[in-house]
Amino acid sequence: MTNALLDDRVIEQLVADTGPSVLPDLLSAFVEEMAELAPRLADALDHDDYLAVARDIHSLKSSSGTFGALALRGLAEGMDSAYKQGELDSALELGVELHLRIRETIAALQARYPLRVS
Amino acid sequence: MANDKTVLLVEDSPSLARVYLEYLRTEQYRMLHASGGEQAIAMIREHPVEAVLLDLVLPDMDGMEIMKWIQQEARPISVVIITAHGSIGRAVEAMRLGVYDFLEKPFSRERLIVTLRNALDRVSLVKIVGDMERTDFEGFTGASLVMQSIYRIIDSAAPSKASVFITGESGTGKEVCAQAIHNRSPRSAGPFVAINCAAIPKDLVESEIFGHVKGAFTGALQSRDGAAKRADGGTLFLDELGEMNLDLQAKLLRFIQTGAFGPVGSNALEEVDVRFIAATNRNPLELVRSGLLREDLYYRLHVIPVHLPPLRERGNDVMLIADRFLQTFSREEGRAFRGFNPEARAVLLDYDWPGNVRQLQNVVHNIVVLNDGDEVIPAMLPPPLAVSGPAPPAMPIDESVVEQERPILPLWQVEMEAIERAIRQCDESIPRAADLLGVSPSTLYRKRQAWKDKGLL
């Protein structure tokens, strides 16, 4: 099933490629990474640290694609493109939305997939 | 089955790194993971990395800088760029720098495995082709597998400052090896100073190495720098280390440990930056056991051992080297030789070459000086080869007569007589006799000393 937040086919492929027993570990690593990234990104945006923002967005673009986080990937690509074209206002708007989507994506993953018990 | 390939993954995202490492688990490579550029370079320096999966956006540096560093160091590594969607332009730019391939994220397990296998195959091919091409290497001539491994050891040892201990029979090229290490090192612009401890009278070795101040001993009319000072910023090669007396070995050990030494007759210490290479034609552990080499000095110097093979174990290298000497000497002596005929080749390949490359050099020089023609035939070969060669004698020989005329002597006696005769014919010059016999002067000094010790000479 595919909804706006997650592409289940990507996660199914991840299971096929790595094995079901590994999935909780992989998804947990992704969730932890996003949980760390959200406040760091907010801080970088607050301080107009565009280099740090660009680096995090670049990283998020790749990881969200690999874990089927469809909505996040769309936003990250939008921000990346806005930065590259110098549209800072537009990038900032997307940044606010991104923060929200990260929380929603984490919640969706926790609700639908087994994560590592830490 | 375990795989002996080492692969470095450079990826700052922990979750992606986990996914890629899981993708590659079945391949059983030795996987290393670096989350930044500095860490990646340190790992490449420390491990035999053959392929790098390289993310271009890293927290501490641009991944392209790592690629440039690998190129500058000329390391045999295949690099596969892993790039974010929409960064193809940079990947293409990287391909121009010599990157093998690129993967656009997200990519499947299958795509990663195939790309990496191809990248590793390319490294193997480059290595094989590179090795096969190396018939000449920093003064060595030789395409045999055993010499390819020597070239690789020299390549690996050269960039470091670690001490090298070269062993090998006389005439195998120990000084050529030391010079090769120096030439390929970052100190190549500095001096290469070679000291043969066996060729210098024992009383003068200390002064030769450490120098002396005016008045240090009778005849020291001027202060003089020794090899240690002259090698500052470069390499000091100490040949026939076992010939050095033990007191001097202790002083050498302190010099290696501290980088400082005092010239003979001076209390002041001088500091230099020197890389040490030592050599001996004897088994160094035997030297230690027999008390001729200090154990602590041996371990201090024996960081990177290089054992040069005797010529008889180098297969067809004999002919490569013989052909090369024949060209050189024919040019120098104005002869027309263009090669060895098949029978002469067979004799050269069949011979044991106890004096190794130096003996082969002398044999070819002898042939060129005493003969001329288009090609070398067995009849032109000088005695040790003429006797052992397969060429049939022109006249049948009555073997019983030969047996009667040549009583069988112990081998040491034959050797001693041959050496003493050579020294007499060379007006008592040991270096000249050694040259003609195809061995190093130190071998003659050592053998004669042993015979003298036993009262045989």
Q: Name the DSSP letter for residue B307.
A: E
Query: How close B45 gets to chain A, by Cα (Å)?
Result: 27
The mean pLDDT of B217-246, rounded to a whole number, is 91
Q: What is the pLDDT of residues A41-77, one digit of tens each?
A: 889 888 888 888 888 888 899 999 999 999 999 999 9
Nearest to B57 among A10, A26, A58 (CB): A58
Q: Is a pLDDT exceeding 60 seen at residue B230?
A: yes
Query: How close A72 gets to chain B, by Cα (Å)?
Result: 14
The mean pLDDT of B192-201, rounded to a whole number, is 90
Judge: B109–A66 Cβ closer than 8 Å, yes or no.
Answer: no
Residues of A in contact with B27 (CB under 8 A): none
Judge: B106–A66 Cβ closer than 8 Å, yes or no.
Answer: yes
Judge: B18–A61 Cβ closer than 8 Å, yes or no.
Answer: no
The mean pLDDT of B173-194, rounded to a whole number, is 94
User: Of B95, B114, B116, nearest to B6 (Cα)?
Assistant: B116
Q: What is the pLDDT of residues B243-255, one digit of tens each?
A: 899 999 999 999 9
Q: Which residue of A has its CA nearest to B84?
A: A62
pLDDT value of position B398: 41
Q: Which residue of B has its CA nearest to A69?
A: B106
CB atoms within 10 A of CB B455: 6
pLDDT value of position B389: 42
Query: How close B109 gets to chain A, by Cα (Å)?
Result: 6
Percent of chain A at pLDDT above 90? 50
Q: Is a pLDDT exceeding 60 seen at residue A1?
A: no
Least confident of B195-204, B294-303, B341-350: B195-204
| Residue A66 contacts B where some CB pair is shorter than 8 Å | yes
Judge: B85–A61 Cβ closer than 8 Å, yes or no.
Answer: yes
Residues of B in contact with A29 (CB under 8 A): 14-15, 18
**Interface mutation target, options A58, A84, A85, chain B, most CBs of B under 10 Å:** A58
Nearest to B108 among A17, A58, A61 (CB): A17
Q: Is a pLDDT exceeding 60 seen at residue B188?
A: yes
Largest CA distance in chain B: 92
Q: What is the pLDDT of residues B256-284, one digit of tens each?
A: 999 999 999 988 999 999 999 999 999 99
Judge: A29–B84 Cβ closer than 8 Å, yes or no.
Answer: no
Question: Crossing angle for the helix pair A50-66 and B14-23, nearest 10 degrees?
Answer: 30
Percent of chain B at pLDDT above 70? 91
Query: Mean pLDDT score of chain A, rounded to an integer?
Result: 88
**Confidence class for position B453, pLDDT limits 50, 70, 90:** confident
- The residue that leads in pLDDT, B397 or B418, is B418
pLDDT value of position B388: 46
Q: Is a pLDDT exceeding 90 seen at residue B438?
A: no
CB atoms within 10 A of CB B148: 19
pTM here? 0.50
User: Of A5, A4, A23, A3, nearest to A13 (Cα)?
Assistant: A23
- List the structure tokens of A76: 């990250």
Query: How close A96 gets to chain B, by Cα (Å)?
Result: 22
Nearest to A22 among B14, B22, B106 (CB): B22
Numbered residues of chain B with Cβ closer than 8 Å to any chain A Cβ: 12-16, 18-19, 22-23, 25, 57, 59, 84-86, 105-106, 108-110
Chain A segment 99-118 residues within 8 A of B by beta carbon are: none
| Whether ipTM exceeds 0.95 | no
- The residue that leads in pLDDT, A31 or B86, is A31
Cα R_g (chain B), whole angstroms: 28
Q: Which residues of A75-107 are buried (b: 16+ CB within 10 A; e: fewer)?
A: bbbbbbebbeeeeeeebeebbeebbebbeebbe
Q: Is a pLDDT exceeding 50 seen at residue B342?
A: yes
Query: How close A94 gets to chain B, by Cα (Å)?
Result: 18
**Interface mutation target, options A59, A81, A83, chain B, most CBs of B under 10 Å:** A59
Q: What is the pLDDT of residues B277-300, one digit of tens each?
A: 999 999 999 999 999 999 999 999
The mean pLDDT of B38-43, rounded to a whole number, is 94
Beta strands in B254-349 (DSSP E): 260-261, 270-271, 275-280, 304-307, 339-340
Q: Is a pLDDT exceeding 50 seen at residue B396?
A: no
Query: How close B5 gets to chain A, by Cα (Å)?
Result: 21
pLDDT value of position B360: 95
Contacts of B68 (CB under 8 A, 6+ apart): B97
Give φ, ψ of B418 to 5 degrees: -65, -40
**Confidence class for position B85, pLDDT limits 50, 70, 90:** low
Query: Mean pLDDT score of chain B, rounded to an integer?
Result: 87
| Residue A65 contacts B where some CB pair is shorter than 8 Å | yes
SS (HEC) of chain B? CCCCCEEEEECCCHHHHHHHHHHCHHHCCEEEEECCHHHHHHHHHHCCEEEEEEECECCCCEHHHHHHHHHHCCCCCEEEEEECCCCHHHHHHHHHCCCCEEEECCCCHHHHHHHHHHHHHHHHHHHHHHHHHCCEECCEECCCHHHHHHHHHHHHHCCCCCCEEEECCCCCCHHHHHHHHHHCCCCCCCCEEEEECCCCCHHHHHHHHHCECCCCCCCCCCCECCHHHHCCCCEEEEECHHHCCHHHHHHHHHHHHHCEECCECCCCCEECCCEEEEEECCCHHHHHHCCCCCHHHHHHHCCEEEECCCHHHCCCHHHHHHHHHHHHHHHHHCCCCCEECHHHHHHHHHCCCCCHHHHHHHHHHHHHHHCCCCEECHHHCCHHHHHHCCCCCCCCCCHHHHHHHCCCCCHHHHHHHHHHHHHHHCCCCHHHHHHHHCCCHHHHHHHHHHHHHCCCC
- The residue that leads in pLDDT, B96 or B383, is B383
Residue pointed to by tokens 């801080």 = A43
Q: Which residue of A has its CA nearest to B13?
A: A59
Query: How close A26 gets to chain B, by Cα (Å)?
Result: 6
**Confidence class for position A117, pLDDT limits 50, 70, 90:** low
Q: What is the pLDDT of residues A6-19, one digit of tens each?
A: 999 999 999 999 98
Residues of B in contact with A113 (CB under 8 A): none
Query: How close A97 gets to chain B, by Cα (Å)?
Result: 21
User: Of B229, B240, B233, nearest to B195 (Cα)?
Assistant: B240
Q: What is the pLDDT of residues B131-145, one digit of tens each?
A: 556 888 999 999 888
